[in-house]
Structure 1
Amino acid sequence: MSNPRPPPATTLRAFLDAHFASPDDLAAAPALAELLRRECAGLQASLRRLEEQLAAAAASWLHRSAGARSDLRRLRLPGGAVGEDDERAETVRKLALPALVREIQRIDTIRHYAEATLQLETLVGNLEDAAFSIVRQASKLNLSSILRKSNETELKHGKLLNAVNAVRDIERELVRISTTRPQWTSLITAVDSRVDKTLAILRPQALTDYRALLAALGWPPLLSSPDTQNDKYSQIPNPLVLMNEGNKEKYSQSFLALCALQHVQANREVRQRQIAAATPAPADSKYFDKTDCLDHGLWAIDELVQPVASRMEYHFAKWSEQPEFIFTLVYKITKDFMDGVDDILQPLIDHARLAGLSAKESWVTGMVKMLVAYLERQIFPALVTCNKDHATVGKPEAESSWMHLNDLMISFDKRMQLLADSGIQKIASLSEGLSRSLSVFSIYSEHPDWLHIWASVELSSAQDKLKSEMEDETNWSCSDSQHGQLGHMENSMKFLLSTREDYKAPPVSEFVIKTALSMIERGRALPNRGMQIQYNRSSSVKFLNDFFLVLRDRCEALQLSNTTLEDQPLSKASCAINAARYCESVLREWDEDTAFLDMGPQGSMFTDEISFLVKLGTNYLEQILSAILIEFEDLSWEYVQNIGSWSGQTALDDQILDEENAGVSPGFVASLDALTDRTAKLKLYLNSKDFLDLWRSIAEGLDYFIYSSIRWGEVNFSDTGVMQLRVDTKALLWIFKPLCSRPEAFLPLLSESQRLLTMKKPDAQCLLEMLTDDARRNSCLKHQGLHHIDARQAAKILRSRKFGR
């Protein structure tokens, strides 16, 4: 039972008002308390009776419920057993039945396992019988009988297709088992072992038969002809084109059988990779199959390349010192047989239902792989040895040979890609795999140390070129410094900077950017992002970092904080800052380019370099700012100490102060001249964005320096003193007037203090009285348009004003 809620406060108040209307009613309080206790005791007794009734009703309900449950149990059991039999039945239901169900499930699993095993045994047996039959028949055929005994050849192709169908059926069953019964790994492993052993026999035999057929057809053709001197390679006879109908039919059967065998082998590899990765097989895995085929090349076309390669290598051996001839010959042979390969093989590939696969592309891929193998075996080892030899390391000949070879590889890749792209339209999801197969630069995938050597060679060459550029001081000069003051003023308000000229960066910075971009573009030939990142980190990024360190060293050598800011140090520092800003803008553009998005771990390849340039530019702008302010302070120190201490003569009532004809204070002239010269030089040398920030910072620094140097409250400003301060301030503002329409906005402390000093005496006294009122001091300052001087400072300024009589 829940506790009774206390009476509302209004009801309790009414009860007390009714019984204690006057002080005399307090005497009846004991009687009233006794009455309330008796009523509470009666209510508690009623509550106990209700609880007893509820307990009795609950016990009765539980008794009837237990009886009904027992009756229902007897109805469910045969014979209507009661008593101990009910308990025995309950035990059977809870313990024996689940065990029985598990046993039935185990027996059913064993039955399914036995059925699957028998079915797979049958399929594997069919495969092994077909393989044994093919091997036994192979000994009966020789090269001369391949084209004559058409029946035996067709029979052998038929047996190979039967073996392929058996493998396909086995794969279908294994995919089903791996999906529904992934715990049967031992069965899958055993079947895979037997199938792999059989395929290890089938593939070499199928390739041997295919090679024998090609040899019987006259492949490979001669790579030279009587018209070789006239460069008529295109007229070399192609045996594939010259086949008669009978031979074409035999070749088609052999080609299709080999493609079918490769297709099922690719399916098996995909399934095994998925099982190893513990990922479920997709419902439609044809794209995985085709990708695997393309990555390894078509066996039937690779067998066309190999005998051609053996004849080409005879010529390669004579051109080890002239690799351009090797690339030219490979491209020429590839192009010469392209049309014949496409006309004969593309219909066969379509018939084999290898969707998205191009005969031209496969032919080009095979020729590229052949060239990569030769370069890896014969050309690159010699270059690597030469590059690592202490006698030749760092020599221009060794570096130029490596760069020349890579230039040939880049050009060759582009030309071969054009040949491959002339085939059928590629499926978009396969394009990455295709580019890996077609790139000669895939040679660096297996030899990352060679990639590092290439990057080092590129870096060394770029650094040598940069060194000669930096030795010429004209390459370090700011571009706009040669155009005169007028030409610069026309461009000084341009803040949307994009080119080197806009940033007034020295020519050497553009050379650095172009060289780094050239290195990056050469690295794009690498077949994957990981290799591109590795190459760029070791070449272009390191090249940029070295130049940025040169910029920092040039600025540090100037010692801006210890110099009087002569023209030459200021020009050199400005050019270095401009170069840093220009390089920073280019790197930011590169980071926003889609071609660079994946080259960094966080999507940006130049994050650290950009941060370094930002810090470099900011640090040396701050040093220039500090040097200018210190120089101004040194030249104007005596002047600012005497502000307000000028002649205290007050003007007569009829005397009019001639502010227009008043001159600048003599002690202020030197500092203004120096500031004018520094501002003009910075405007001439520095890029417009940084100059805008710099002159505003200079103005704000001067404003604070002059204002804080005046001993407000200790000096007395007469009318003459106020006029002189206004004249001097106008002279200071005049320096910044060409840079903006309201330079006084950047000297707010001086502007607001002069507004207070020029107030009329009644207004000044009234404002001073309001400043003593805490409630009105802030509002009255805002009403006067004063936002940078607080009430205490305003009161000091007003007390420093000495009005004439």
Structure 2
Amino acid sequence: MPSPPRLRPPPASVRGFLDAHFTSPDNLAAAPALTELLRRECAGLDASLRRAEARLGAAAASWLARSAEARADLCRVRSRGVRVGAEDEGAEAVRTVGLPALVREIQRIDTIRLYAEATLQLEALVGNLEDVAFSIVRQAPKFNLSSILRKSNETKWKQGKLLHAVDAVRDIERELVQISTSRPQWTNLVMAVDSRVDKTLSILRPQALTDYRALLASLGWPPSLSSQDTEKDKYSQIPNPLVLMNKENKERYSQSFQALCALQHVQGNRELRLCQTAEVTPALADLKYFNRTACFDNGLWAIDELVHPIASRMEYHFAKWSEQPEFIFTLVYKITKDFMDGVDDVLQPLIDQARLVGLSAKESWVTGMVKMLVGYLERQIFPALVCSYQDHATVGKPEVDSSWMHLNDVMISFDKRMQLLADSGIQKIASLSEGLSRSLSVFSIYTEHPDWLQIWADVELSSAQDKLKSEMEDETNWSCSGQLDQLGHMENSMKFLLSTREDYKAPPVCEFVIKTALSMVERGRALPNRGMQIQYNRSSSVRFLNDFFLVLRERCEALELSNTALEDQSLSKTSCAINAARYCENVLREWDEDTTFLDMGPQGSLFTDEISFLVKLGTNYLEQILSSVLLEFEDLSSEYVQNIGSWSGQTILDDQTLDEENAGVSPGFVASLDVLTDRTTKLKRYLNSKDFLDLWRSIAEGLDYFICSSIRWGEVSFSDPGAIQLRVDTKALLHIFRPFCSRPEAFLPFLSESLKLLTMKRSDAQCLLEMLMDDTKSDNCLKHQGLHHVNASQAAKILSSRKFCG
């Protein structure tokens, strides 16, 4: 009799599975459920196997089709010239017509299948979210204040449901992001899901905030802002109920706080996705940490709910101080500071547990208090100021402007103190600091009210203009600060690295204007964003500077620079205005290079137009001075210049030699040289060194052109005494410019080279003249003689005007 077959022991994996699920006899009751679970898993695996077999069959059919196509192509190659059979024609028709249509149909069906699967999956997720929200709302009437105190387990259940809803929203967002990326054409599906999720969240958030407020009330929040100590002027720190919580209440509060933060986080990420999809803010995708913190830019909901009940008690005190706003800001700062340490000790660990990277409890607390204050100012303080400013009966009254100025001064001081409180928190990530700090400024009130910002700028401008008017009425503020420099000390004229007002010899009023404008710019830096700073500066500091620059131009236009005689007073005032323009131009250029001014204008400069105006103003009046000096010199020396050459043989006999060292300047040239000396001396005294350098060089070049172009070369004859006399006169002219330069001949090149030609020896002059007649050698011979400014034709005329004795 054969022995019964031996049963094989189950594999190790099966034994491990059974040991894990049946650790005791009590677990046998769960066997039917485990059987059903295994049955479903097997069914799923069978379905996966069938899908794999179907894909394998499709792949094989595709391979066979391509193989048949290749075999048909080979047959056609072998039987070249033979008529293709009917079977091949049918295969060709199927290949060219049927297969592409079949592929498109398969793709369409596959897309429908994927759409259906995505719809079913999203329907399940959204349904789960709606069920959780419905269960929370359905249980809401049962949770009043007394029930929260008695039944902490019900509170935990509700917080768990809220976290379940948050997880459901996060899963939905993950699917929607994937669909938006891979299937952007499924817009209707995404919009339908968003609509249902938004409706659900609009129910969840108010309910979550209501439960959170009830919990805060049960904990004794808000505390009383007045006590016996404060009534006796003993401003002790107010007790913080968050610090005084027992262990059980602290656990309940922690759960509620983190659940509310999680809900805010997922809603913020949804808003970010919607903005990116609609391309409302295309630059947000480039910010590395924006997706984690965008929803917290304006503070945490949980901390804002701490501020709201305190605000109602503070506003009772605010109403008494409408005429003394500094007391309002002082109270807000005191309350903020009193609760700061408690907020940081209790809430910062909760924020860290929620993994809200870069968020500070102190900063969020300060943000909430600032938002509360901004709301009160927007409702109560600023509307009254605006009405007073716009009232025709009070327009221009000093008390109205002073109220605006005083309020903004208090706001600037308050902002700095609150920023110090906020920055005392955790070390923030650099890329987050700018975004999170935008909400800390009480000046954000101007963001929604640009007309109020314009009023502030107008008040600042009016105040600055009134002060400037009194400064300009004192003529001593328009006097140049430069002292008379001693001519002959070259180092005094070599100082060209100008920086201060004294270096530019600008009048004192310029320093007042620059300091006033800079003060307005500094005050405008309190505004929270670049656009508001640009608007404020263009309406205040830029307009103030423009008004002063127009005054500069008017003062110059009122001066008459005569063509024949320059008045000393006109020369002094014009030089002073030029110095003022140059100094202001230099300051504005330095401001444009400062990082605080970068990107404040359309081309990266806030003062582009103003700088151009100043450059043009200084250049125009320098040209007028230059023209006046040259015309005055021309008028005094015109007769002398026209007679150059004609007197060379009249004053000296042929057998007489002129002693150059003892010879005097031509009488007709003395008056023009004296006037030129006087003008250059005064210009050096009045003008800044840079402009004077350019001006005297331009004067020298103008005189060089005037004298050389006025001599009738080729028509007059220069004898030896005549050439020597011209050199004596030229040395006298060069002597005027010698204190400003060691080689003034370089700036009168034509006159210097003409003298060099006239004083050449006869043999050298004749040889050079012959070489100039040869066009191929003319340029080289002039350069060989060190002549670089006169050309061959001019040099020939000059040499032909030379008359040698004997």
Common fold by TM > 0.5 = yes
Whichever residue aligns with residue 302 of structure 1, its letter is D
**Residue number in structure 1 paired with 2:585:** 584
Match of 2:802 in 1: 801
What residue is the counterpart of 2:510 in the other structure? 509
Is 1:566 the counterpart of 2:567 in the alignment? Answer: yes
Residue of structure 2 equivalent to 1:162: 164
Q: Could you tell me which residue of structure 1 aligns to residue 278 of structure 2? A: 276
C-alpha separation in 2, matches of 1:666 and 1:587: 50
Q: Determine helix, strand or coil for the equivalent of 1:736.
A: helix
User: Would you say the 8 A contact 2:489–2:739 is kept in 1?
Assistant: no
- How many angstroms does 1:730 deviate by? 1.0
Instruction: Give the whole-Å Cα distance in 1 for the aligned partners of 2:323 and 2:743.
Output: 72
- The match for 1:439 is 441
Render the CA deviation track for 1:366-398: whole Å, top value 9, x for unaligned.
001111111111111111111111121222221
**Partner of residue 477, structure 1:** 479
Q: Which residue of 1 aligns with 2:707?
A: 706
Amino acid at match of 1:683: K
List runs of 5+ in structure 2 lacking aligned partners. Answer: 1-68
TM-score by length of 2: 0.87
Tell me if the contact between 1:651 and 1:719 (Cα under 8 Å) persists in the aligned partners.
no
- For the Cα contact (< 8 Å) 1:316–1:326, is it kept in 2? yes
Report if aligned partners of 1:233, 1:336 keep a CA contact under 8 Å in 2.
Answer: no
- For 2:690, the aligned partner's letter is K
3-state SS in 2 of match to 1:622:
helix
| Match runs of 1:146-161 below 5 Å | 146-161=148-163
Question: Aligned AA for 2:662?
Answer: N
- The residue aligned with 2:317 is 315
Aligned amino acid, residue 270 of structure 1:
L
Query: 1:513, CA displacement in angstroms?
Result: 1.2
AA matched with 2:759: T
CA change 1:599–1:563 in 2 (3 A) is: farther
1:60-71 equivalences in 2 (<5 Å):
69=72
Q: Indicate the residue corresponding to 1:28 in structure 2.
A: none
Q: CA deviation at 1:400?
A: 1.4
Cα distance in 2 between the residues matched to 1:229 and 1:494: 67
Deviation, structure 1 residue 617: 0.7
Q: Name which of 323, 331, 334 aligns with 1:332.
A: 334
Once the two structures are superposed, what CA deviation does each residue of 1:381-422 show, in whole Å capped at 9, x if it has no partner? Answer: 111111111121222221111111111111111111111111
Residue 55 (structure 1) aligns with: none
Distance in 2 (CA, whole Å) between partners of 1:451 and 1:487 is 57
Which residue of structure 1 lines up, in the alignment, with residue 649 of structure 2?
A: 648
* Residues 484 and 391 of structure 1: CA distance in aligned 2, closer, same or farther (over 3 Å): farther
1:552-701 to structure 2, matched below 5 A, reads 552-562=553-563, 564-646=565-647, 648=649, 656-701=657-702
Name the structure 2 match of 1:258: 260
SS in 2 for 1:146: helix
CA distance in 1 between partners of 2:198 and 2:624 (Å): 74
Shift of 1:209: 0.7
The residue number in structure 1 matching 2:60 is none
Superimposed CA distance per residue, residues 610-647 of structure 1 (whole angstroms, 9 cap, x where no aligned partner): 11111111110010000001111111112112222226
Amino acid at match of 2:181: T
CA shift, 1:353, in A, is 0.8
Cα deviation digits, residues 3-61 of structure 1 (max 9, x gap): xxxxxxxxxxxxxxxxxxxxxxxxxxxxxxxxxxxxxxxxxxxxxxxxxxxxxxxxxxx
Q: 1:223 to 1:489 in 2, by over 3 A?
A: farther
1:455-494 aligned within 5 A: 455-481=457-483, 485=486, 491-494=492-495
Shift of 1:281: 12
Which of residues 108, 111, 118 in structure 1 aligns to 2:113? 111
2:72–2:88 contact (8 Å) kept in structure 1? no
Structure 2 residue aligned with 1:23: none
Q: Which deviates more, 528-537 or 298-307?
A: 528-537
In the alignment, is the contact (CA less than 8 A) between 1:495 and 1:688 conserved in 2?
A: yes
**Cα distance change of structure 1 residues 230 and 674 upon mapping to structure 2, 3 Å threshold:** farther
Q: 2:213 aligns with which of 211, 214, 217?
A: 211
1:348 to 1:628, Cα distance in 2 relative to 1, 3 A: same
Amino acid at match of 2:593: E
For residue 801 of structure 1, give the secondary structure of its aligned residue in structure 2: coil
Return 748-757 or 794-803, whichever deviates more.
Answer: 794-803
Aligned 1:193-232 pairs, distance under 5 A: 193-228=195-230, 232=234
Structure 1: how far apart are the matches of 2:230 and 2:490?
68
* 1:174 equivalent among 162, 176, 179: 176
1:294 Cα shift?
Answer: 2.1
| Maintained 8 Å contact 1:323/1:405 | yes
In structure 1, what is the equivalent of residue 17 of structure 2? none
Q: CA deviation at 1:244?
A: 0.7
- Determine the C-alpha separation between the residues in 2 that align with 1:490 and 1:767: 41
Counterpart mapping for 1:42-81 below 5 A: 69=72, 72=75
Alpha-carbon distance between aligned partners in 2 of 1:84 and 1:279, rounded to the nearest angstrom? 63
Letter in 1 for 2:434: E
Tell me the residue number matched to 2:94.
92
Q: Distance in 1 between matches of 2:739 and 2:214?
A: 89
**Distance in 2 between residues matched to 1:216 and 1:659, nearest whole Å:** 112
**CA 1:601–1:760 in structure 2 vs 1: closer, same or farther (change >3 Å)?**
same
Asked if 2 retains the 8 angstrom alpha-carbon contact of 1:649 and 1:718, the reply is no
Residues 391, 753 of structure 1: alpha-carbon distance in 2 compared, 3 angstrom cutoff = same
Separation in structure 2 between the aligned mates of residue 477 and residue 285 of structure 1, nearest angstrom: 55
Q: Identify the residue that residue 299 of structure 2 maps to in structure 1.
A: 297
Distance in 2 (CA, whole Å) between partners of 1:797 and 1:121 is 104
CA separation in 1, counterparts of 2:648 and 2:431? 88
| Corresponding letter in the other structure for 2:458 | S
1:96-129 CA-to-partner distances (Å, cap 9, x unmatched) read 2222222222222222222222222221121111
State the Cα deviation string for residues 695-728 of structure 1 (Å, max 9, x = none): 0111111111112222222222222222221111
Call closer, same or farther: CA 1:280–1:781 in 2, change over 3 Å: closer
Contact 1:651 1:804 (8 Å CA) reproduced:
no
361, 373, 382: which one pairs with 1:380? 382
Letter in 1 for 2:349: P
1:145 deviates by 2.5
Where in structure 2 are the equivalents of 1:701-780 lying within 5 Å? 701-780=702-781
- Indicate how the Cα distance of structure 1 residues 554 and 132 shifts in structure 2: closer, same or farther if over 3 A, else same: same
CA distance in 2 between partners of 1:590 and 1:247 (Å): 56
For residues 453 and 338 of structure 1, what CA distance do their matches in structure 2 show? Answer: 35
Distance 1:466 1:487, change over 3 A: farther
Counterpart residue type for residue 681 of structure 2:
A
Whole-Å separation in 1 of the counterparts to 2:101 and 2:371: 62
How far does residue 285 in structure 1 lie from its aligned partner after superposition? 8.9
Letter of the 2:418 counterpart: M
SS of the equivalent of 1:601 reads: coil
C-alpha distance in 2 between matches for 1:653 and 1:552: 58
State the TM-score, normalized to the length of structure 1: 0.87
Name the CA shift for 1:279/1:613 in 2 (closer, same or farther; >3 Å): closer
AA at the equivalent of 1:676: T
> Is this contact kept in 2: 1:294–1:437, CA < 8 A?
no
Q: Secondary structure at the match of 2:142?
A: coil
Task: Give the partner amino acid of 1:466.
Answer: L
Q: Percent identity, aligned pairs only?
A: 84
2:146 matched to which residue of 1?
Answer: 144
Could you tell me how far 1:73 is from its partner in structure 2? Answer: 7.6
- Residue 347 in 1 paired to residue 346 in 2? no
Return closer, same or farther for 1:245/1:375 CA change in 2, 3 Å cut-off: same
- Comparing 766-775 with 345-354, greater Cα deviation is found at 766-775
Is this contact kept in 1: 2:297–2:436, CA < 8 A?
A: yes
Amino acid paired to 2:787: L
Alpha-carbon distance between aligned partners in 2 of 1:100 and 1:67, rounded to the nearest angstrom? 20
CA distance 1:286–1:113, change in 2 (3 Å): farther
Q: Which amino acid aligns with 2:249?
A: N
